[in-house]
Structure 1
Amino acid sequence: MLALDNITKTNLTIYPNPVQDNIKINFTKTDNYEINIFNSAGQKLIHKTVTSDFATIDLTTLNDGIYFITIDSRTERWTSKLLKKHWL
């Protein structure tokens, strides 16, 4: 069984994880962020630019599975796994 929890890293929190429909991202400061979601083959499926301290990403079009999220600011990069499940 794969266990994933909400993701808390320096300067941001990503929740819920596992996710059913939408993920939410809270940043500790307002900045320009580039958010990308990739499948396990490395294909970029979703891209969003955010210029605030909060983002919601709609994942309803994605199939169940493991995905990778990367978030880039002007000075940092964060990468984490997301588990998408419809049965939550």
Structure 2
Amino acid sequence: MTPALYAPSPYENGSSIAHFDENLWSNPVNNDNLMTPYTYPGEHHHTPGNTGLGLMKDIGWDGSIYYSFINIDKTKVEIFPNPCESMVSIISEDSGRYQFEVYNIYGQKVKSEKAISGITKIDMSNLDSGVYIFNLTSGNETSISTRVIKR
């Protein structure tokens, strides 16, 4: 007998192939319990049990564990004051040229400036009060993204 998958109609956020009917398919003797039909934010399962592993094998996972190293260069950047009133100072310790882009909460670019490492001042006086997203890019990669509140 194949376990019934939890797949609500209409779709509910958080449902996935890993959600079975736990009440029907639980076995406390060999600890092969299936998880409840919901997950909490950030929840993960390191040992899904034989039934869960069998299901993953049925959909093509051979049980191998794959990994790769991801090198992330942390760019040291300070943006202050936050909240700000008219000017924002940006200090970057890394050498090189950067592009600063400022977006409003609607995703519209409201300011774009080039900067060189050191201190850069950005005039915010012509912008309305609210929350803005600052993106710092070097080349084609976004290295820093942070929120700044304008009073």
- Normalised by the size of structure 2, how large is the TM-score? 0.48
Number of residue pairs matched?
77
User: Which stretch has the larger CA shift, 50-59 or 16-25?
Assistant: 50-59
More strand by share: 1
Percent identical: 26
Which structure 1 residue ranges, 5 or more long, are not aligned?
A: 1-8
Q: Which runs of structure 1 show a deviation greater than 6 angstroms over 4 or more consecutive aligned residues?
A: none
1:35 partnered with 2:92? no
Indicate the structure with greater helix content.
Answer: 2
1:23 aligns with 2:110: no
Give, in whole Å, the separation in 2 of the partners of 1:40 and 1:64. 11
Between 1:70-79 and 1:24-33, the stretch displaced more is 70-79
- How many angstroms apart in 1 are the aligned matches of 2:80 and 2:138? 19
Asked if 2 retains the 8 angstrom alpha-carbon contact of 1:40 and 1:67, the reply is yes
Separation (CA, whole Å) in 2 of partners of 1:24 and 1:37: 13
1:83 aligns with 2:149: yes
- Find the residue that maps to 2:94 and give its secondary structure: coil
Q: Which moved more, 1:20-29 or 1:69-78?
A: 69-78
- Once residues 79 and 116 of structure 2 are traced to their aligned partners in structure 1, the CA distance between those partners, rounded to angstroms, is 16
Q: How does 1:1-88 map to 2 (within 5 A)?
A: 10-74=75-139, 77-85=143-151
CA shift for structure 1 position 15: 0.3
Higher relative contact order (CA 8 A, sep 6+): 1
Query: What is the DSSP-based 3-state SS (H/G/I as helix, E as strand, rest coil) of the residue aligned with 2:112?
Result: strand
TM-score by length of 1: 0.80
Bigger CA drift: 72-81 or 62-71? 72-81
